[in-house]
Amino acid sequence: MNALIVYGSCYGTSQRYAQALSQKTGIPARPFRQVGSLDGVDTLVYIGGLYAGTVMGLKQTLGKLPKEKHPRFLLATVGLGDPAREETVQTIRASLAKQVPEALQKSAVYFHLRGGIDYKVLRPKHKLMMAMFIRFLKKKPRETMDPDTRTMVDTYGGAVDFVDLESLAPLIAQLT
Ligand SMILES: Cc1cc2nc3c(=O)[nH]c(=O)nc-3n(C[C@H](O)[C@H](O)[C@H](O)COP(=O)(O)O)c2cc1C
Residue 10: name the closest of 69, 67, 54, 45 by CA: 54
The dihedrals phi and psi of 26, each to the nearest 5 degrees, come to 80, 5
Q: Is 88 in the pocket of ligand 1 (CB under 6 A)?
A: no
Per-residue confidence (pLDDT) for residue 28, from 0 to 100:
98
Q: Quick check: is 125 in a domain?
A: no
Helices (H) and strands (E) counted in the chain, each on its own, are 7, 8
* Atom nearest to 116 CA in ligand 1: 21
Task: Fill in the amino acid letter for 74.
Answer: L
Does 119 sit in the ligand 1 pocket, CB within 6 Å?
no
138 falls within a domain:
no
In a domain, 131, yes or no: no
Spatial distance between the Cα atoms of 50 and 71, rounded to a whole number of angstroms: 23
Domain membership of residue 91 as a residue range: 3-117+160-175
Ligand 1 contact, 122 CB (< 6 A): yes
**Angle 44-83-127 from CA coordinates, rounded to 5°:** 90
User: Domain for residue 79, yes or no?
Assistant: yes
What total of structural domains would you count in the chain? 1
165 within a domain of the structure (yes/no): yes
Residue 100 dihedral angles phi and psi, to the nearest 5°: -105, 125
Low-confidence residues of the chain, pLDDT below 70?
none
pLDDT, tens digit, 9 for 90 and up, residues 120-145: 999 999 999 999 999 999 999 999 99
Does 22 fall in a domain?
A: yes
> Is the CB–ligand 1 distance for residue 152 below 6 Å?
no
Mutate which of 9, 47, 51 to test ligand 1's pocket (most atoms within 8 Å of Cβ)? 51
Q: Is the C-beta atom of 11 inside 6 A of ligand 1? A: yes
Closest CA relative to residue 44, chosen from 94, 78, 63:
63
Domain holding 55: CATH number? Answer: 3.40.50.360
What is the model's pLDDT at position 73?
Answer: 96
Would the pTM of this model clear 0.85, i.e. be above it?
yes
- Any domain includes 31: yes
33 Cβ inside 6 Å of ligand 1: no
Residue 65 lies in a domain: yes
